[in-house]
Structure 1
Amino acid sequence: MNDPLPETAIAGISDLPEIEAIVEAAYRPYVARMGLLPGPMRDDYAAHVAAGRLRVLRDGQGLAGLLVLIPEATHMLLDNIAIAPRAQGRGYGRLLLDCAEAEARRQGFGVIRLYTHVTMVENVAIYRKRGYAETHRAEVNGLQRVYMEKPLP
């Protein structure tokens, strides 16, 4: 029998070591492909935790994933979503995307936006399947980004 999907919770400062470990494990494989550190590996997760922008997903083995949401003036920014390699393939990414979209709606936003690196083609395909459309591409801090958005009914 499958265990029920876990729920998200606002991250606390004590979660930082596990958060940073998930980010490292989830994004390290992209370093060789990109030739530099991905944006999420450069981020200040203590600041996200302090601002209440970081949610974590726990399963029976500990922290399984994370989600960073940043309310902007006109939209919700899905800044980061990462799943621990040990927890991939269990539907946790879909659960976190559902959580991001629900939170954006709850806060009154009609649009959710995100960006990913152009070499992360798997992510672009996942987001397209979820209804996100590419709006533009740009270079930021040496990173070639694909920007996407989704209207929220």
Structure 2
Amino acid sequence: MPLDTPQLVTAGPDDHRRVRDLVRRAYARWVPVIGREPRPMQADYARAVVDHRIDLLEGDGGALIALIETDLRPDHLWIENIAVHPDHQGRGVGSRLIAHAARLARAAGRRELQLLTNAAFLDNVRLYERLGFVTWKTEPWLESTTLYMRRSLEDPPG
């Protein structure tokens, strides 16, 4: 399926099971890396679809390809979660979702994106750095390190 046909739609309360299932599939690759389920795999998505904006990238027939969960904060747009179905990872979907988040932030008058990730998720860290994110804080979490990253929307990335 070509990646130019998927459409972004905002999730509603009835989408919480689809969201949860996609997140569990997307993050499953990290379980052996960190020896436990990452926090997004344990989140309450029935609540998240109400509390946050979750945009779904759907393909033909409504097949769920990816999602981005965001929360508008007073001075930035927080990216709570990005999940890409394993069949679509490494194809630019994450970059497309970050670009979508940047558009949302600018439309709301915010000049920065922020997120956190596990330092062991090297592919994700490299993607965020390539897209202009910088680490501004680190914090130990369980037996891992959490990276807090941000990207200014003042200038285009790299």
Give TM-score scaled by structure 2 length.
Answer: 0.87
Amino acid at match of 1:70: D
How far does residue 2 in structure 1 lie from its aligned partner after superposition? 4.2
User: Unmatched 5+ residue regions in structure 1?
Assistant: none
1:45 aligns to 2:40 (yes or no)? no
Cα 1:104–1:15, aligned 2, differ >3 Å: closer, same or farther? same
In 1: Cα distance, 2:144 partner to 2:72 partner: 22
Q: Counterpart in 1 of 2:119?
A: 118
State percent identity of aligned pairs: 29
Residues 146 and 14 of structure 1, relative CA distance in 2, 3 Å threshold = same
Classify 1:142/1:77 alpha carbon distance in 2 versus 1 (closer, same or farther; 3 Å): farther
Structure 2 contact 52–69 (Cα < 8 Å) conserved = no
Q: Measure the CA separation in 2 of the matches of 1:118 and 1:2.
A: 31
SS in 2 for 1:131: coil
**1:3-152 equivalences in 2 (<5 Å):** 4-60=4-60, 62-140=63-141, 144-152=145-153
Q: Secondary structure at the match of 1:37?
A: coil
Residues 35-90 of structure 1: CA distance to partner in whole angstroms, max 9, x if unpaired? 22212112121112113511111011511111100112221111100111122244
Q: CA RMSD in A?
A: 1.9
- The one-letter amino acid paired with 1:15 is D
Equivalent pairs counted in the alignment come to: 153
- The amino acid that maps onto 2:38 is P
Deviation of residue 111 (structure 1)? Answer: 0.8
Indicate if the aligned counterparts of 1:64 and 1:84 stay in contact, CA closer than 8 A.
yes
Give the TM-score, by structure 1 length.
Answer: 0.90
Matches of 2:79 and 2:44, distance apart in 1: 15
Check whether the contact 1:5–1:92 (CA below 8 A) recurs between aligned residues. no
SS at match of 1:36: coil
Structure 1 residue 15 displacement after superposition: 1.9
CA distance in 2, matches of 1:135, 1:97: 18
Distance 1:13 1:57, change over 3 A: same
Gaps of 5+ in 2: none
CA contact (8 A) 1:55 1:66 kept: yes
Q: By how many angstroms is 1:91 displaced?
A: 2.6
